[in-house]
């Protein structure tokens, strides 16, 4: 598959504050990754870890929740640009973006911790889902629907079921699969197995 | 598919203590589900919630960790008895056991909270995995290997990839799928889609 230029999803900061912004995001993720819950997390602690003043944080984020949503969103790989020609290639691109982000140990750990707080911070998690998860689900849905339209996929395919099989296989590898890095060709193998099915063909 | 008798995986308690044991397990799960981390959880708190004395707990469990492993294990559906004839039917049975346990809101919630502590309690989580997760992975692996042997599944199928597609599709539904109960026929639909593949057949 082709290496594709990622689409930048983050809002552009003022150049002079970019370095501080990055330090603040990293400090937030570090603290969450070290087990500090969202409730314990404070602007003070983040400022101290990032080596910036609190006002620098407040210039960019009006509250902790906004900052956490932004910080978590940076862990998600940007949506890949899709070729729009072959449904197989586009599915591989989408799954490979999942692979690249899940391959980072810190990303997995922080995301697991944050997700465990979803019940306590429904509004925060809802915003995070809308920002980082929904767009990729919609992108995959669009590709599957296109494939049904072009005849590359079964005409009677349930779109949710297709998404579940494809994304689920990636999710399984990050949750229950062998420890360590995901194989570089995992996305391609998942897509090909899902397309062709695991049953033996008719003899 | 056939309704099958579950295999009882829990050790048999003395009859007179069964009711207390159940209350203790329920109290432990309740407290975890209410957001009490494993570190904050105490035998005192569990005894008080269960309405039993601490000695009743210590008669059965020598420490908190043993109790938590037992309590979490009750959330996992028991391994279904497999027919051993059709690989399709056996895969549906295994996936349907995942569906039935994931369908319980408390089960999902407690499991998410517990999993978020995996980094802090590696030994506890390792025991839980060995007790509750590994056996079902091995059962599915055995069925897939049997299917490859009998020719029901592709001869060149990567067993891990097959497991990822099947279990992953169920996992996806519990994580990212539509809210609410999982459809009763979900396991069957996942297995049939995975077997036949999502690509359109050759014309």
- Most confident of the following: A34-48, B48-62, B99-113: B48-62
Residue B181, in any domain of the structure: yes
The CATH number linked to A100 is 1.10.357.10
B3 lies within 8 A of chain A by CB: no
B92 shares its domain with B190: yes
A19 lies within 8 A of chain B by CB: no
The interface predicted TM-score (ipTM) is 0.77
Under the banding of pLDDT at 50, 70 and 90, the label for residue B163 is very high
Query: Given this model, what pLDDT does residue B127 score?
Result: 87
A60 shares its domain with A107: no
Asked whether the predicted pLDDT for residue B119 surpasses 60, the reply is: yes
Lowest model confidence (mean pLDDT) among A9-13, A42-46, B192-196, B197-201? A9-13
**What distances in angstroms separate CA A31 from CA A40, B28, B93, one per listed residue?**
10, 29, 42
In chain B, which residue's Cα lies nearest the Cα of A189? B161
B43 lies within 8 A of chain A by CB: no
CB contact under 8 A, A109 and B119: yes
Query: Given this model, what pLDDT does residue A6 score?
Result: 44
The three-state DSSP-derived secondary structure of chain A is: CCCCCECCCCCCCCHHHHHHHHHHHHHHHHHHHCCCCCCCCCHHHHHHHHCCCHHHHHHHCCCHHHHHHHHHHCCCCCCECCCCCCHHHHHHHHHHHHHHHHCCHHHHHHHHHHHHCCCCCHHHHHHHHHHHHHHHHHHHHHHHHHHHHHCCECCCCCHHHHHHHHHHHHHHHHHCCCCCCCCCCHHHHHHHHHHHCCECCCC
Which residue, of A73, A96, A114, is where some domain finishes? A73
B93 shares its domain with B189: yes
- Within 8 A of B115 by CB-CB distance, chain A residues are 112, 116
More confident position, A78 or B108: A78
Mean pLDDT of all residues in B105-114:
73
Residues B96/B80, Cβ–Cβ less than 8 Å: yes
Residue B1, in any domain of the structure: no
The CATH number linked to A52 is 1.10.10.60
B101 shares its domain with B59: no
Residue A6, in any domain of the structure: no
A108 shares its domain with A44: no
B23 shares its domain with B50: yes
CB contact under 8 A, A168 and B164: yes
Mean pLDDT of all residues in B138-164:
96
Query: Given this model, what pLDDT does residue A43 score?
Result: 95
Mean pLDDT of all residues in B157-170:
95
Residue A178, in any domain of the structure: yes
CB contact under 8 A, A113 and B116: yes
B169 lies within 8 A of chain A by CB: yes
Query: Given this model, what pLDDT does residue B38 score?
Result: 83
B5 lies within 8 A of chain A by CB: no
CB contact under 8 A, A154 and B199: yes
Listed in sequence order, the residues at least 6 apart from B46 whose beta carbon sits closer than 8 Å to its beta carbon are B24, B27, B28, B31, B57, B67
B198 lies within 8 A of chain A by CB: yes
What are the structure tokens assigned to A144, written together?
């599957």
Residues of chain A with pLDDT under 70: 1-16, 102-105, 116, 119, 178-180, 202-203
Query: Given this model, what pLDDT does residue A7 score?
Result: 45
Could you say which residues from 99 to 158 on chain A have a Cβ atom under 8 Å away from some Cβ of chain B?
109, 112-113, 115-120, 133, 137, 151-155, 157-158
Query: Given this model, what pLDDT does residue B7 score?
Result: 45
Among A75, A66, A92, CA closest to A147? A92
| Facing B155 at nearest CB: one of A169, A173, A200 | A200
A46 shares its domain with A121: no
Q: How confident is the model over A81-132, as pLDDT tens digits?
A: 999 999 999 999 999 998 887 666 677 777 777 776 776 788 888 888 888 8
More confident position, B183 or B4: B183
What are the structure tokens assigned to A101, written together?
């982000």
**Number of domains within chain B:** 2
Residue B192, in any domain of the structure: yes
Residue A3, in any domain of the structure: no
**What distances in angstroms separate CA B161 from CA A53, A54, A87, A193, one per listed residue?**
49, 48, 20, 8
Which residue, of B28, B48, B73, is where some domain finishes? B73
Please classify residue A72 by burial: count the beta carbons closer than 10 Å to its beta carbon, then call 0-12 exposed, 13-18 middle and 19+ buried. buried
Residue A7, in any domain of the structure: no
Mean pLDDT of all residues in B135-152:
95
Query: Given this model, what pLDDT does residue B16 score?
Result: 54
- Within 8 A of A164 by CB-CB distance, chain B residues are 168-170, 172-173, 177, 190
B62 shares its domain with B147: no
Lowest model confidence (mean pLDDT) among A37-41, B6-10, B184-188? B6-10
Query: Given this model, what pLDDT does residue A179 score?
Result: 65
- Within 8 A of A169 by CB-CB distance, chain B residues are 161, 164-165, 168-169
Domain range enclosing A22: 16-73
A92 shares its domain with A140: yes
- Within 8 A of A172 by CB-CB distance, chain B residues are 163-165, 167-168, 171
A49 shares its domain with A133: no
Residues B25/B46, Cβ–Cβ less than 8 Å: no
A103 shares its domain with A45: no
Mean pLDDT of all residues in B18-41:
88
B54 shares its domain with B91: no
CB contact under 8 A, A176 and B167: yes
A-interface mutation test, from B34, B154, B199, most A Cβ less than 10 A away: B199
Residue B203, in any domain of the structure: no
Which residue, of B73, B96, B118, is where some domain finishes? B73
Q: Nearest CA to CA, how far is B77 from chain A (Å)?
A: 17
Residue A40's CB is within 10 A of a number of other CB atoms, namely: 10
């Amino acid at each position: 598959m082709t290496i594709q230029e990622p689409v930048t999803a983050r809002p552009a900061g003022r150049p002079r504050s970019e370095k501080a912004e990055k330090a603040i995001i990293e400090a937030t993720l570090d603290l969450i990754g070290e087990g500090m819950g969202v409730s314990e997390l404070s602007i003070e602690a983040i400022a101290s870890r990032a080596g910036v003043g609190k006002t620098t944080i407040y210039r960019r984020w009006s509250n902790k929740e906004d900052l956490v949503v932004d910080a978590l969103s940076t862990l998600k790989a940007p949506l890949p640009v899709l070729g729009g020609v072959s449904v197989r290639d586009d599915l591989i691109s989408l799954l490979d973006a999942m692979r690249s982000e899940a391959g980072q140990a810190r990303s997995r750990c922080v995301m697991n911790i944050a997700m465990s707080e979803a019940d306590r911070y429904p509004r925060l998690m809802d915003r995070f889902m809308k920002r980082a998860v929904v767009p990729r689900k919609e992108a995959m849905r669009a590709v599957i629907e296109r494939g049904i339209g072009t005849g590359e996929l079964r005409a009677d395919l349930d779109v949710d079921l297709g998404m579940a099989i494809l994304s689920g296989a990636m999710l399984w590898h990050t949750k229950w699969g062998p420890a360590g890095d995901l194989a570089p060709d995992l996305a391609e193998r998942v897509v090909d197995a899902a397309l062709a099915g695991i049953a033996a063909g008719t003899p």
